[in-house]
Chain A
Amino acid sequence: MIDRADIAFEVNGAAISVNVPPLRRLSSVLRDELRLTGTKVGCDAGDCGACTVLVDGDPVCACLMSAASASGTAVTTVEGLANGRLSALQASFLAHGAAQCGICTPALLVAATALLEKKPNPTETEVQDALGGILCRCTGYRKIIAAVMDASLQAASLDFRLPQSGQAIGSSPIRLDGVPKVTGGEKFGGDSFPADALAVLVVRSPHYHASFAFGDLDSWAKHHPGVAGVFTAADIPGKNCFGVIGPFADQPALATGFARLRGEAVALVAGEREAILDLDLSDFPVRWTELPHVLQPCDAQASGAKLIHDNRPANLLTSGFVERGDPEAALAGAAVTVSGAIDTSYVEHAYIEPEAGYAYMEGDTLVVVACTQAPYMDRDDTAKVLGLAVDKVRIVPTATGGGFGSKLDVSLQPLIGLVALKTGRPAALAYTRNESMISTTKRHPAEMKATIGADADGHVTGMIFAGDFNTGAYASWGPTVANRVPVHASGPYATPNYRAEGRAIHTHGPISGAFRGFGVPQATIMQETLYDELAGKLGMDRLDFRLRNCLRNGSETVTGQRLDSGVGIAECLESLQSHWARATADVDAFNSANTEKKRGVGIASCWYGCGNTSLPNPSTIRVGVVASGDIILHQGAVDIGQGSNTVITQICADALGLPLEKFRLKSADTAITPDAGKTSASRQTFVTGKAAEKAGHALREKILRFANVSEKAFLQLDGSAIVIREGEATRRIDLTTLDVDADGFVFRAEETYDPPTLPLDAKGQGKPYAVYGYGAQIAELEVDLKLGTVKLIKITAAHDVGKAINPLLVEGQIEGGIAQGIGMALMEEYIPGRTENLHDYLIPTIGDVPPIETILIEVPDPEGPFGAKGLGEHVLIPTAPAILNAIRHATGVLVTKVPATPTRILAAIREKEARL
């Protein structure tokens, strides 16, 4: 411990003095002492840049600067950028949709402000150079670049673009939750810890597999002043077993006796914040006995392999299976067949906000305030572990700084809940980056094989697919991956004879769970790279081949589901034809003039069922009018950056027939808002949107009935009155004269929607989804044949979203999904024990995402609200296979293990040279 000192500096123009240890990180001083929580902490290592502030005008990482070094300087944080009103840059960010979750936004704004001071009209390269040290996981960066370049054009006042009544659908208002994201006011999981909260440390397994025994914990605690308690599995009052899919639940909140993965939590230490900051856990009394471990599915499946869970023979968690027709016969009779194998790697979600939250007791109710994608699931699992009734647990979601699937599972909720429950004091915890990476879920590594055959006319006749997915130590969403993959592995193509199996296999590796696409991105790499090979063998153009085979209205899917309408994949592919021709010509011209670098163009498609696979997943929306004339929308679809706060409101507004500006949102707090399900499976726009549409209609119905007018009437809010016009007649309802219910509503409606699906039979036949979305992307790139490096030139993305409720947010989803697809294709490979930080684990920077041209296709789905389909996951799926296909086009080699790193690409090129 080092003595405190008075340290004086200027923050946002105001002189301040703090009494802190001189080596305290400036980020901590700003956040914890000055409560300027707009400066975020994403890694504490300079790898993400989320803590960027200006010190005497220059950007620095506040996590790498001591308080002592800040002494005497002038510090500018995001809170200092707005001077009574938004700066032009802040407004430009909102106008361009450059902030999604908003966790990296303060850093980007601060660094860009420094750039704009010097260069008011920067070039794209200057923007990239200035912002290259700040990672964003949501946006794909393109809108950020545009927002900075256009900042000087931004009008003095921001037009919020709020649409007229009835015009919300299809418009792109400034996102309703946008302003706090650019001012630093948004509160994420770690931004509102109570000052008196106990700090919590998690003791984790350093081994992949080990038994452990504790020493004298009480004595240890007593010898460490400020430690309020140590908690282990023995302290857990409920069932120490959680999991997102009830029948597969298998994960202890705190391990009992042995740990199945590196990073598994085994004990909690809670104490006063300063004491915990100075606590060295190296003398914590736990004795580890390392046990043999397996990290590869083949080893886990080897005969005699030890079982990771006794009740799961052969370490098989579960498998999914779809079969249709006679695939063997079809392949035997095919004019051409192709076979291949593709392996993929663990992919880390790498949201910039590590898991964070606090818990406290409110009477006999445990309240957990934390970032999440699934508040009701958090509530149920936390209650189960802590032995509480579900109505004695309240989950209050904070803003969530990216999720992408991993924040569907509980992480710290039962841990901080246990401390609050046991001590009666608030308990707070923000995971370190390392802790977040080692203990939370990943994308499943896949080992896939497939054979596809086509007739001489280029019609696909049969396909056989088998994929093993490394599901890690616990079930999490492994069953979903095993089930989704066989349903989708055909791609959006008519495949009359088909067999696909997906198996989720336990290892002692990181837990694989949900990650944008649930295994479908992996399977699509297998299928789409084989499609290129098939087209080649048939002598067909690669795009034409896909058009010939794509699903159409009236097609049957591999699960035997007849798609009567709303199938937009052909429209997506057709919209790309002119781009394909242009790109192919560009590539040919370049390649005829260059030898050391070669360009390539690739294409791939996607389809993806929206919502749970053959399982119920209802959403409920409550909306009402209060006497003041506001519309209160209980918007339970957690917005993790994708925009549900805005989109669900737009849908409800037009269904109700009242303007967006009258809406006030209530959050997905489980105590006040009905369950709108998890933010997952590309379901919120479709499922919760549909509930919002129904609720809007129902509320409208009630008002019209009260006014005794027909449904053709127009509604208008005029102060605390509703004015209703029908033809020449006008009625005015004074809301203040109406009865008010317990929730304050004078009119209210609540509607639930659950998509109509049917179970899959033993052969995987049935109707797993009510709605599918479609898309296709073209990748253009250049490969340096001497180095194996790839420079992306352009991505052109056509996505059928049914109806773009908010086109700007749709574009944002597409660009962000593509960026994650780029990472998966070229650089992202999580290796436990080796890449547990954001400098060894690489995600794309602002210099790695090329220009993206988005083409929105709107083939309405009769089931979706206003025809809308989901798209959040679809957008990532085609990117990696399109890139791999383009690399093959450029080089003649297919890289069969992703990511296609320079090492792998050059090795493949060398291998091909050796064959020649």
Chain B
Amino acid sequence: MRADLHDAGSGTNSGFDNSCRLDIICIRMNLTSADGWQGLSKYPFLEGPLFGRQSVIRYAKPTTVDEALDLLGEGAWRILAGGTDFYPAQGSKPFRDNVLDINGLAELRGTVETDSHWVIGARTTWTDIVRHPLPPAFDALKQAAREVGSAQIQNVASVAGNLCNASPAADGVPGLLILDAEVELRSAAATRYLPLQDFILGNRRTALQPGEMITAIRVPKPAASGTSAFVKLGARRYLVISIAMVAARLVVDNGIVTEAAVAVGSCSAVAKRLASVEAALRGLPADHRLAAAAQAAPMGELAPIADVRGSAEYRLDAVREIVARAVLMAAGQMTGDKVAA
């Protein structure tokens, strides 16, 4: 009965249900009890498995990524990172899934600069992002980081979790889209890289394959140039799921926009880059006229729905305005007045 109510609560919500700060990675496969025992024998750090009345449930907290990937290869696990959506999704229901706790993977936390990329470890928290010195192109991401849930959420919620949860209202996604971010997906067998827009497939759907987990988010160095800004539109000041949000990054050379990246969240099943807006901005003087150019461009990528936070018409109307404001802010033509009421 509790399950019914919980499911009905989100399932009948026609909107972008739930939050922008989720961090579970859920892989569903069949698991036999024999697999469970094998897993245990290989990893003495395991606290499980246990054979409960209804099902076999394993809990594992590996300390190296290789161990984690080996475990992932063995069967179906829910991955626990920051927990800020793991627990809300669980509600008061009993645990029935195997849980791979990746909080022992120290190597997955933190941001490093390589020759070619900025590499954000999967477990890096939003507070880590805010505190880490990064180029101005990351300002939008940092501003978004401060809007992910609350300070308490930001202190533990992971960047990768925000992506894996694949909420249309994920605050972290537009700021990464404008950085041409890609996700590093590892399994015991292989490592692959997917552009972020190819990783998030739809509302709560990702390209994550069985046995895989995100180990990092990578931003190619060329995309880490220019200046950026993030604008969030919500119905209250703090702790609010976005009605719409925009991240914009501009590279300005001699007063002319040479590169533009604009991404919108909460106005389509997956956050989108706005190609026509970006094209309209390129080559323009980086002054207040950018706003009109951005507003006049087609935004065909967007297909907002109506939900408890706002109507589709409202979103289409308001998003034009906040696109313009984010562009102006990125160009240094406007200060970051909080949009949220």
Instruction: Give the B-binding residues of A (Cβ under 8 A).
Output: 1-3, 5, 21-23, 25, 44-47, 49, 52, 55, 58-61, 63-66, 68-69, 111, 128-130, 132-135, 201, 203-204, 206, 224-225, 262-263, 277-282, 284, 286, 432, 434-435, 438, 784, 786-791, 826-827, 829, 831, 833-837, 839-840, 842, 844-848, 901-903, 906-907, 910
Give which listed residue, B53, B84, B103, B152, contacts A59 with CB less than 8 A: B152
User: How far, in whole Å, are A523 and B243 apart by their CA atoms in the complex?
Assistant: 30
User: How far, in whole Å, are A438 and B5 apart by their CA atoms in the complex?
Assistant: 9
Quick one: closest A residue to B96, CB to CB?
A280
Give which listed residue, A23, A49, A224, contacts B99 with CB less than 8 A: A23
- In the complex, 26 of the A-B residue pairs with CB atoms within 8 angstroms, ordered by the A residue number, are A1-B53, A2-B58, A44-B92, A47-B239, A60-B155, A60-B156, A61-B152, A63-B87, A64-B84, A64-B86, A133-B151, A133-B238, A135-B239, A224-B53, A278-B95, A281-B2, A282-B3, A434-B5, A784-B339, A788-B314, A839-B19, A847-B238, A848-B341, A901-B235, A902-B233, A910-B317
Quick one: closest B residue to A432, CB to CB?
B92
User: Which residues of chain A are within 8 angstroms of B1 by Cβ–Cβ distance?
Assistant: 203-204, 206, 281-282, 284, 286
For residue A350, give the distance in angstroms from its CB to the closest CB of chain B: 13
- Interface with A: B192-200, B279-287, B305-313, which one? B305-313
Give which listed residue, B94, B239, B318, contacts A786 with CB less than 8 A: B318
For residue A831, give the distance in angstroms from its CB to the closest CB of chain B: 6
Q: Does B28 contact A (CB under 8 A)?
A: no
Q: B237 contacts A847, CB within 8 Å?
A: yes
User: Which residues of chain B are within 8 angstroms of A3 by Cβ–Cβ distance?
Assistant: 47-50, 59
Q: A788 contacts B155, CB within 8 Å?
A: no
Max chain A Cβ within 10 angstroms of own Cβ: one of B2, B156, B233:
B2
Q: A787 contacts B322, CB within 8 Å?
A: yes
The verdict on A22 contacting B238 (CB below 8 Å), with A60-B156, A206-B5, A279-B94 known, is no
User: Which residues of chain B are within 8 angstroms of A22 by Cβ–Cβ distance?
Assistant: 47, 59, 61, 101
Give which listed residue, A5, A46, A206, A284, contacts B8 with CB less than 8 A: A206
User: How far, in whole Å, are A284 and B6 apart by their CA atoms in the complex?
Assistant: 16
Q: B341 contacts A839, CB within 8 Å?
A: no
Extra contacts, 6 of them, besides A69-B156, A787-B322, A791-B341 (Cβ < 8 A), are A23-B95, A64-B83, A280-B94, A790-B341, A826-B235, A848-B238
User: How far, in whole Å, are A285 and B318 apart by their CA atoms in the complex?
Assistant: 49
User: Which residues of chain A are within 8 angstroms of B236 by Cβ–Cβ distance?
Assistant: 827, 842, 844-845, 847-848
Q: B88 contacts A46, CB within 8 Å?
A: yes
Q: B92 contacts A46, CB within 8 Å?
A: no
Q: B94 contacts A23, CB within 8 Å?
A: no
Give which listed residue, A132, A262, A789, contacts B341 with CB less than 8 A: A789
Q: A45 contacts B239, CB within 8 Å?
A: no
Top 6 nearest A-B pairs (CB, nearest first) are A133-B150, A847-B237, A132-B238, A1-B52, A206-B4, A45-B88
Q: B314 contacts A59, CB within 8 Å?
A: no
For residue A787, give the distance in angstroms from its CB to the closest CB of chain B: 5
The verdict on A907 contacting B4 (CB below 8 Å), with A46-B149, A787-B322, A845-B238 known, is no
User: Which residues of chain A are within 8 angstroms of B86 by Cβ–Cβ distance?
Assistant: 64
For residue A501, give the distance in angstroms from its CB to the closest CB of chain B: 32
Q: A130 contacts B84, CB within 8 Å?
A: no
Q: Does B207 contact A (CB under 8 A)?
A: no
Q: Does B9 contact A (CB under 8 A)?
A: yes
User: Which residues of chain B are within 8 angstroms of A829 by Cβ–Cβ distance?
Assistant: 308
Q: B88 contacts A64, CB within 8 Å?
A: yes
Q: Which B81-131 residues sit within 8 Å CB-CB of chain A? A: 82-84, 86-88, 91-96, 99, 101, 103, 127
For residue A101, give the distance in angstroms from its CB to the closest CB of chain B: 20
Q: Does B153 contact A (CB under 8 A)?
A: yes
For residue A888, give the distance in angstroms from its CB to the closest CB of chain B: 17
Q: Does B301 contact A (CB under 8 A)?
A: no
User: How far, in whole Å, are A537 and B310 apart by their CA atoms in the complex?
Assistant: 33
User: How far, in whole Å, are A69 and B87 apart by their CA atoms in the complex?
Assistant: 13
User: Which residues of chain A are within 8 angstroms of B54 by Cβ–Cβ distance?
Assistant: 280
User: How far, in whole Å, are A111 and B155 apart by their CA atoms in the complex?
Assistant: 12
The verdict on A132 contacting B150 (CB below 8 Å), with A842-B236, A842-B240 known, is yes
For residue A431, give the distance in angstroms from its CB to the closest CB of chain B: 10
Quick one: closest A residue to B103, CB to CB?
A69
Q: Which B182-196 residues sit within 8 Å CB-CB of chain A? A: none
User: How far, in whole Å, are A836 and B11 apart by their CA atoms in the complex?
Assistant: 12
For residue A440, give the distance in angstroms from its CB to the closest CB of chain B: 14
Q: A52 contacts B308, CB within 8 Å?
A: no
User: How far, in whole Å, are A910 and B321 apart by their CA atoms in the complex?
Assistant: 14
